[in-house]
Structure 1
C-alpha cells in the first residue's frame, strides 16, 4: 500500500510520520527536483505500507515548488490513501487544504492532530459531525504522545481496501457553477484526460488561472486552445457581473466553507483571555525586545554548538588520530627520504576525512538545536523578525536559518546552510540564498583569518575581528540584491505566507530522529566528495614528480646524515641493532608513532609507554623521555638529530615539488592577474587548494612557508619574517581577507549547489561569479590603497564605511535604486496579485 501524508505546514505531519514509521525511514529528493522526499514503512499484519511525507503546503496550487511536488505526487502516483493531517487547535485554517484535497476525489482519512492543544485551549471538537460533513473518516491524534496510532492504521487499511465513493458532495461555487459544468462537459467530449485527472478539478484550476493546468490542457487536449479561449470568455463574463475575479471568488468560497465547517464542529467557550502563544509573542515579537531575543538565541546557538561542540572534539579527536595510526601501521613504513605514493595518498585521504569527521559533534549539536527551534515554533518568529529586512534585498525570512548554519558571525558551514534552503518557497529568494550563503564565515575560514589578524593587525585585533564578522553579511545582502535584480530576475516567485504556529514542547524522539537524519545526510553527501577531491588535490600537488637528479641530491643529503648517525652510535650497545638502513627506518617509524601516541594519549601516558616498551624494548630504552644512561642519551640525541634532518629534507622536497607541480605552475601563471590584489604565487596556490577545503589554505601556507629546521617557529612567525623580507603589508592582508570572504564555496559546498539547484550551470556560476567579485573587490582595495598610500587598517575602515552605507541605502531606498537601474521586476512579495499573509494560530 502507498500512503501519502499531506497537509499544511506546522500541523504535525512529521510527528505523525515518525509515529507511523518509527526508525524505518529514509530521506531522498523527488526525481528532477530539490524538494526533500521523506519515506518510511510500517507493517499492518501481512500488509507492507509505504508512507510518503509530502512537503507541507498551504494549498495545491502551482505557485511554489513544494506545492507542485505535493500535487503531482497525488495526481500521478495515485496513493491508495491520503492521510490529511490537520491542526485541531486551528481547524479553520487547516480545512482550506482539506477542501482542495477533497476535490481530487481520492480516498482520504483526516488525522486530527494536536487534540491535546485544542483541549488545553478549551475547544471541544465533534469528530463525528466533522466526519459526516466532509464524508471522510476523522481520527483524533496526539502525535507527540503516540495517541491514536492504532485507530489511524485501521482507518488507513479500511480506506485503501474499501474504495470510497467518488460521488462525495462537492463544494459548490455559487454563480460560478454553470461555468464549471460547461468547461467539464467540453473537456470530456474529446479527451482521455479523465483517466488521469479529475475533470471537475481541472475545470476549477483553469478558472483559477493555474498555469500548470493551462499548459497541460494546451498540450494534452486536442481542442486545448479552444477550451482556453472558452475559459477566458467565461472568466471575463463572470467578472463583468460580479466585480470579482474567478480565482478570488473560488478562494472566498473555500474560506467561507472552512469557517462554516469549523464553527459547526467546534464548541469553545469564550474566555476573553489571550492564549499562551499570544502572551509569549507579546514579549518575543515586541518591536524593541524582538531583536534582543533574536541575538540572544543566535548567541546561545553558537555558544552551545560551536564553542561547546568544539570542546567535544578534544574527546573525539584522539579516536580519529588512533584510527590514522592504525591505518599507518598497515601501510608500508616510510622511506629514508620519501613516504612512497601509496602511503602518502592513503594518509592524505585519511587526514581529509578526519578533518570532516572532527566537526561532526559540532554539526550534531547544531542540527539538534535547529530542530528544537523548529518544533517549538520560534523558528517562524525568527523569520518574521528578519523578513522585512531581508525582503528589501530580495531574500526571504526563511533565509535566516541557512545564514545561521553558514556562519553569520563565525563558525558555521556552507554545506548544511545550502541544504537548509530547501524550505524557502520563493524560487528567486531561494537561489539568492544558495548563492550568498558561502559568503558567511564558515568554521574552516577562521584559521586563515586568525593567522592574518595575528600577523598584520595584532594592535587592532578587536576591530579586525569585528570587521571580518560583519562585513560578510553586509556583502551577502548587497550581492543578493544585485543577483535578484539581474541574473535571477526571471526566476519564479511564490506568494509569501508566514504562519505563527502555537508554541509546543519539542519531543525527544522527533528532535533526535531529525538530528541523526541530517547528520547522516551530511556525512553521505560530503564525505564521499571530500575523499574524491583529496585524491585530485594530491595528484595536482605531487605531479609531475621531481627529476632523478634532484631526488639524488636530496638522497645524498640523507645518506650523509645517516652516516653521521651510525658513526655517532658505533661504540654503543645499540650499534648492532641499527647497523643497516632497514633497521634505522624501523626505528624512525617507531619514533614517529611513539611521539604521535603520546600526543593523543588522552592522559593515559603510562599505557602508551607500556605498550611501546613491550613492542620494542631496545628502541624504547633510548627514545623514552626522562632519565637514561649515558649510551641511551647519546643514541637518543643522535636519533633526534636524524629525525630533524629528515623533516628538513622532506620539507625542501615538498617546497620544490609544489613549485614545479601543476598547482605551482597555475599559481605562477595567475600572478599577472592577481598581482593587482597583491597576491604572489604562494598565496595563489593556497587559495586554489582551499577550493577543496577551506582548511587547506593554512595547511598549504604552512608547507609553503616552512624553511630549514626551525622547529620552534610558529607559522605566524615564519610568515611574518618572510613577509617583511618580501614586502607583504597589512594592505596585502586586507585584500586577502576580502578575497577569501568573497571566494567561491569549497568543493563540497559547490557540489551541494548542484544538488540543490539540479543544474551544472548554476554550479559553475557559483564558482565564476564569486571569483570575479572577490578579485575585483580585493584588487580595487589594494590598488587604491597603494595609489593613495593608505595603510591597511585605514583602508579597512574606509571599505567598511562604503559597504555599510551602500547596504543601508539599498535597505531604505530599494525602489529608487530599481528605477535608477531600470529594473522593473517586482519584489518577491508582489508577484501576481498576491500579498503577504501572516496568520496567527
Structure 2
C-alpha cells in the first residue's frame, strides 16, 4: 500500500507544440509561457500536484523530437531522465499528428522506465473525422494510453490514476504484435514478446553481442539493451562513458538503419490504430501553399507585421487618452496635497517632476504594449510563427545560419532576454554566438515608447510608417552583420532546418492571457523598480551640481556629463547634452530614455498632446529637427542593450570578454548607422 506522504516523480516530455506545457499548467497552475514553435522552453520547470492520497512532483522538460544529444533541449531532457529519480514518464503526444510523435515514444519505451502515453488534442482528431483505436494502440506499445485534452481539461485525473498504477511496472504490458517469430528468426529468445521495437535480424544479432559485452564489463548498468542500441548508433556520450571493444562487429553507425526501422514499425502501428486517416483536413496545406511560398512568404510576413504595428498604434493610441487624464489628475492632486501639508519644495519636485513624471510617462504607453503583445501571442498560438522560420531558412542559410536562428530573433520583438536564452536551441556553438550578437538589434517592446513619441512629434502624418521602418532596419542590420560574420568564418558549416509546421488552430484564450499578462506584468514591474529608481537618479543629477541644488539645470552634474560627451555624438546629429544624458540612462532600460526626456524638459506627461508639443518646441529651439529625431530612433534601436540583456549575454556565453565585445560592437554599429543616416540625410534636407 502507498503511504499518504508518498511523492511520485513525474517527467512530462514530448514534441514541440504537442500541448505538453499547457497540460503541465493544468496540473500545477503555473503561469509558464506556451509558445507555438520549438526552442522556447529551454529549461526544466517544476511544480506539484496532489491527487487522492499521493503527492506528485511534476517536471516539464523541453520539447524535443528525439533522445539524441544534438541540441541543448535533447541533452537536458535525456540527462534528466537517465540520471534523476524519475518514477514515471508522461509522453505527451499530439494525437492529430500521431505518426510523427510516436518516434519519441518508441525511444522512451526503450529506456526501460515506466511510460504513460497521453494522447493530447483528441478534439482535433474528432474534428477531422479520424479515430484512434485506444484499445489496439496500448496492445502494440505495451504501455497505458490515455486520451486527454489540455485545452478542455479532460482526462487529467485518469492520466494521474494511470501514472500511480503504472509507476512500479518493471516490464511492459502484454504485447500483441501478431508476428509469428518462430518461422522468421533464428534468435534464441522471442523478441516480439519482450520488446516493443524489434529490429532486423542483423541488428538484433549485434544488439545481443554488445549486450553480452556490456554485462561483462558493466554488470551494474541499467537497461543493457538501450545502451547497446546507442553503441550501434555511435552515440558520442554513451560510447565515451562506457568504452568497450566493438571494432569486430560494428563497422559503421547504424543510426539511420535504426531510425528507418522504427518508422517502419510506426507505419504498422498507424495502419492498425488510426482510422479514417485520409479524412485529415487539408486546410493547413492550402494555407501553407500561400504563406510558405518561396516568393510570397516573406512579403506576407512583412505585411502581417505591418498590420500588427498598425493595430498597436491605432487601438493603443485610442486607449492611452484614459491614462493621460488619470496621470494629469494624479500629478496635480499629488502636488496640491503635498503643498497643502507644507512639504518642502525639493521633495515635491522629486515626487512630481521626478517619480510621477518618469514612471507615469512610461505607464501611458501600456495600451500600445498590450496590443503589441496581444497580436504577437495570437500569431504564436495560431501556428504562424514557425512558418516564419521556415520561410526565412533559405535567407538565413546564405548568412551561415539555420532558419531556426530566426526564432530567437523573432522573440526579440518582445524582449531580448528570453530571445537570447532561446538561442540554446541551436546545435552549433558558433551559430549561438552569432545569433546572440545580432538578436539585440531587434526592436524589443521597450524601444516602442521611443518610436511612438518621436515619430508622432516629428512625423505626425507618417508615424506608423516611421515606426515600422525601425523594425525593418533592425532586421536588415542583423542580416548584414550575420552576412559579414559569415564572410570571415573560414569553417562554414552546412545548415538544415528541421522544424515542425503545426496545424493552424484557433488561438487558445487561456494561453494568450497567460502570455500577455506575463509581459504586461514584467512591464509594470520594470516601471515600479528600474524606472522608479532611474527616475530618482536622473532627477538628482539634474537638480544638483558642485554647489548643491541648482535652479538652472545646465549647471547640474547631468549637464556636465552630457556636455563632456556631446561632441562625440556630433556626427550622429545627437550632440545635445540632454539627449546624451537620456541615452546613458537608457542603458538601464530603454523605456528610461523617454522618462528621462520628460524630466529633462520638465514635462509631466510626455505622451500627451501638450507634452509632445512642449518637448518638440524645446528640441526645435536647439535646432533638433526631423532628421535628428530619426537618427535618434535608429541609435536607440541599435545601441547598447539594456542591463538585463547584458547580464543574460554573460550568463549564456560564460564570458565577460564576449559580453564586453558584444556591447562595444553594438554601440559601434549604432554609431556608424546613425552617422550614415544623418550625414546622408543632410545632403537632401
**What TM bracket, shorter-length normalisation?**
0.7 to 0.9
User: What residue number does 1:680 align with?
Assistant: 575
1:67 aligns with 2:69: no
1:739 aligns with 2:635: yes
User: What residue number does 1:154 align with?
Assistant: 161
Q: 1:81 aligns with which of 88, 94, 114?
A: 88
Instruction: Mark the CA change 1:776 to 1:274 in structure 2 (over 3 Å): closer, same or farther.
Output: closer
Instruction: Mark the CA change 1:308 to 1:780 in structure 2 (over 3 Å): closer, same or farther.
Output: closer
Instruction: Mark the CA change 1:400 to 1:530 in structure 2 (over 3 Å): closer, same or farther.
Output: farther
Instruction: Mark the CA change 1:205 to 1:80 in structure 2 (over 3 Å): closer, same or farther.
Output: same
Deviation at 1:358, TM superposition (A): 4.4
Contact conserved, 1:15 with 1:144, CA < 8 A, in 2? yes
- The SS at the match of 1:339 is helix
Q: After the TM superposition, which residues 198-597 of structure 1 pair with which residues of structure 2 at under 5 Å, given as runs? A: 198-215=223-240, 217=241, 224=243, 227=244, 230-231=245-246, 234-236=249-251, 239=252, 245-268=253-276, 270=278, 275-287=282-294, 289-291=296-298, 293-316=300-323, 339-340=346-347, 344=350, 348=354, 352-354=358-360, 357-397=363-403, 403=409, 406-407=412-413, 414=416, 418=420, 428-429=430-431, 431-442=433-444, 445=447, 468=470, 470-483=472-485, 496-520=497-521, 528-531=529-532, 533=534, 545-547=545-547
User: What residue number does 1:176 align with?
Assistant: 203
Contact conserved, 1:25 with 1:39, CA < 8 A, in 2? no
Larger Rg: 1
- The SS at the match of 1:145 is coil
User: What residue number does 2:62 align with?
Assistant: 55
Measure, in 1, the Cα distance between the counterparts of 2:621 and 2:218: 81
1:103 aligns with 2:110: yes
Q: Deviations over 1:400-432 (max 9, x none)?
A: 56555645xxxx664565566676676655554
Contact conserved, 2:402 with 2:496, CA < 8 A, in 1? no
Q: 1:133 aligns with which of 102, 126, 140?
A: 140
User: What residue number does 2:555 align with?
Assistant: 656
TM-score, normalisation: structure 1: 0.66
Instruction: Mark the CA change 1:359 to 1:97 in structure 2 (over 3 Å): closer, same or farther.
Output: farther
Q: Deviations over 1:601-632 (max 9, x none)?
A: xxxxxxxxxxxxxxxxxxxxxxxxxxxxxxxx
Deviation at 1:293, TM superposition (A): 4.2
Greater CA drift, 343-352 or 385-394: 343-352
Contact conserved, 1:188 with 1:199, CA < 8 A, in 2? yes
Greater CA drift, 698-707 or 47-56: 698-707
- The SS at the match of 2:499 is strand
Contact conserved, 1:426 with 1:493, CA < 8 A, in 2? no
Q: Which has the higher helix share?
A: 1
TM-score, normalisation: structure 2: 0.79
Q: Deviations over 1:446-503 (max 9, x none)?
A: 666677778988999999777655333211211133345668x889998631222223
Aligned length: 646
Measure, in 1, the Cα distance between the counterparts of 2:442 and 2:31: 33
User: What residue number does 1:693 align with?
Assistant: 589
Structure 1, gaps ≥5 residues long:
240-244, 555-649, 796-841
Measure, in 1, the Cα distance between the counterparts of 2:9 and 2:484: 45
Deviation at 1:71, TM superposition (A): 1.3
- The SS at the match of 1:497 is coil
Deviation at 1:374, TM superposition (A): 3.0
Deviation at 1:514, TM superposition (A): 3.7
Deviation at 1:137, TM superposition (A): 0.7
Q: Deviations over 1:637-658 (max 9, x none)?
A: xxxxxxxxxxxxx3x1x2211x
Greater CA drift, 320-329 or 748-757: 320-329
Q: Deviations over 1:698-744 (max 9, x none)?
A: 5555666789xxx9973333333323xxxx78876676555343211
Measure, in 1, the Cα distance between the counterparts of 2:478 and 2:204: 50
Instruction: Mark the CA change 1:139 to 1:539 in structure 2 (over 3 Å): closer, same or farther.
Output: same
User: What residue number does 1:769 align with?
Assistant: 665
1:142 aligns with 2:38: no
1:720 aligns with 2:597: no
Instruction: Mark the CA change 1:177 to 1:422 in structure 2 (over 3 Å): closer, same or farther.
Output: same
Contact conserved, 1:135 with 1:168, CA < 8 A, in 2? no
Measure, in 2, the Cα distance between the counterparts of 1:446 and 1:247: 48
Measure, in 2, the Cα distance between the counterparts of 1:74 and 1:775: 48
Instruction: Mark the CA change 1:320 to 1:701 in structure 2 (over 3 Å): closer, same or farther.
Output: closer
- The SS at the match of 2:306 is helix
- The SS at the match of 2:48 is strand
